[in-house]
Structure 1
Amino acid sequence: MMRVFLGLDLPETVRSALAVQQFLLPLPRRVPPEAFHLTLVFLGDVPDPRLDAAHEVFAALRSPAFPLALRGLGLFGGSRPRAAWAGVLPSDPLTRLQAAAEQAARIAGVEVAARRFVPHVTLGRFPVPDFAATARLERAIADGFAFAAGPWIVQDMVLWQSRSGHDGPVYTELSRYPFS
């Protein structure tokens, strides 16, 4: 059994722009730049036979390459933020790809949580900060509202394994699925 997710890798230029922005934020805990990605479908803990089936249906998905760009920053958690993120400009091809990937996972027999797709790249995950730290973080996020990176051309998607590490999750690429 493996804990896995399907997502999009980011080009080095975008990773660098995110790392600079991340450095400017007073984040209690940062995601390492090599772990930046955009999740399409989180599959969770998947038994090997279902993982094999998921691999087959992901490999059969067809999508043309498409442009994608990041815009803006935000926090998840409302008044008790627990994560900082960089947003993604609206993209019909991305929305279609995510819906197709989620449907493919279900066809493979993987139970996927029903939640609204909010495309983003996580910059940091952390325990709820105290009031003063929350105010500093919210102010820094507001100052970085104009953040932008890209566009770049998305040419494939990746199946990653996620394992718990000392400093947060460690991701290992299992398969890469090129677009037509």
Structure 2
Amino acid sequence: MSDESREPFKRLFFALNCAPEQRRAIAQWRNALGLNIGRPVPAENFHLTLLFLGTVGMAQIAGVCEAAANVRMPGVPLTVVLDRLEVWRRSGVLLLAPAQAEPQLLQLVYALEQAMLPFGFEDTRREFRPHLTLMRNYRAPVPESATPPEFFLRADRFTLFESHKGRYRALAEWPLVYA
């Protein structure tokens, strides 16, 4: 085993966080679907992933944070409308997604991808598909809903999260709007 493979690491991703009241509203809506298939994502884990970094060595985290701090977005806070319920069969998830991705959201993701290029993260090459995961191990069609989804995820900052044993912990965050 090389020294490099023994280096301490964290599993990291950038995301837009959900406000507590928004988490509750989404969880209540999901519960009203009456699903008995799959494993519900805990409401405290609701977020919209911007960029999954995967395994990051502890020695790289300061550099990742410095690069993220240089990401600048013009204008106003970001609003993402989560108005589609979808199933991704391959990964077995039930999720909320925007029918149309906001250009500002796509700009933010691109800026983060560019900022992370020097680090050579393999997982950053995935196509960006904005979503908020509701259920894992979900192997059924898209459920019918009496109330169509329409959630407005409003963000004035983006966050670097650590994934550890099924829980997400915010490590750092940066404003989307600079004066």
- Which residue of the partner structure matches residue 143 of structure 1? 145
- Which residue of the partner structure matches residue 67 of structure 1? 79
- Which residue of the partner structure matches residue 20 of structure 2? 12
Which of the numbers 36, 39, 53 marks the counterpart of 1:43? Answer: 53
CA drift of 1:110 comes to: 3.0
Distance in 1 (CA, whole Å) between partners of 2:88 and 2:162 is 23
Residues 113, 124 of structure 2: 8 Å contact kept: no
Distance in 2 (CA, whole Å) between partners of 1:144 and 1:8 is 27
Q: Which amino acid aligns with 1:149?
A: F
For the aligned residue pairs, the C-alpha RMSD in angstroms reads 2.0
Query: What is the aligned-residue identity percentage?
Result: 28
CA drift of 1:69 comes to: 1.8
- Which residue of the partner structure matches residue 169 of structure 2? 172
CA drift of 1:50 comes to: 2.0
Distance in 1 (CA, whole Å) between partners of 2:147 and 2:114 is 33
> Equivalences for 1:1-180 in 2 at 5 Å?
1-25=9-33, 26=35, 27-64=37-74, 65-77=77-89, 82-88=92-98, 89-126=100-137, 129=139, 134=140, 138=141, 140=143, 142-143=144-145, 146-150=148-152, 152-164=153-165, 169-179=166-176, 180=178
Distance in 2 (CA, whole Å) between partners of 1:145 and 1:108 is 43
Distance in 2 (CA, whole Å) between partners of 1:69 and 1:14 is 12
Change (3 A) 1:48 1:82: same
Distance in 1 (CA, whole Å) between partners of 2:112 and 2:42 is 26
SS in 1 for 2:85: strand
Residues 72, 144 of structure 1: 8 Å contact kept: no
Change (3 A) 1:144 1:84: farther
SS in 2 for 1:143: coil
Distance in 2 (CA, whole Å) between partners of 1:31 and 1:72 is 17
Q: Which amino acid aligns with 1:10?
A: C
Distance in 1 (CA, whole Å) between partners of 2:146 and 2:48 is 19
Where structure 2 has 5 or more consecutive residues not aligned to the other structure, the ranges are 1-8
Distance in 1 (CA, whole Å) between partners of 2:151 and 2:50 is 19
Aligned length: 164
Change (3 A) 1:49 1:73: same
CA drift of 1:139 comes to: 5.3
Distance in 1 (CA, whole Å) between partners of 2:146 and 2:164 is 31
Distance in 1 (CA, whole Å) between partners of 2:120 and 2:103 is 26
Bigger Cα displacement from structure 2, 5-14 vs 102-111: 102-111
Residues 13, 49 of structure 2: 8 Å contact kept: yes
TM superposition score normalised by structure 2: 0.83
Residues 87, 93 of structure 2: 8 Å contact kept: yes
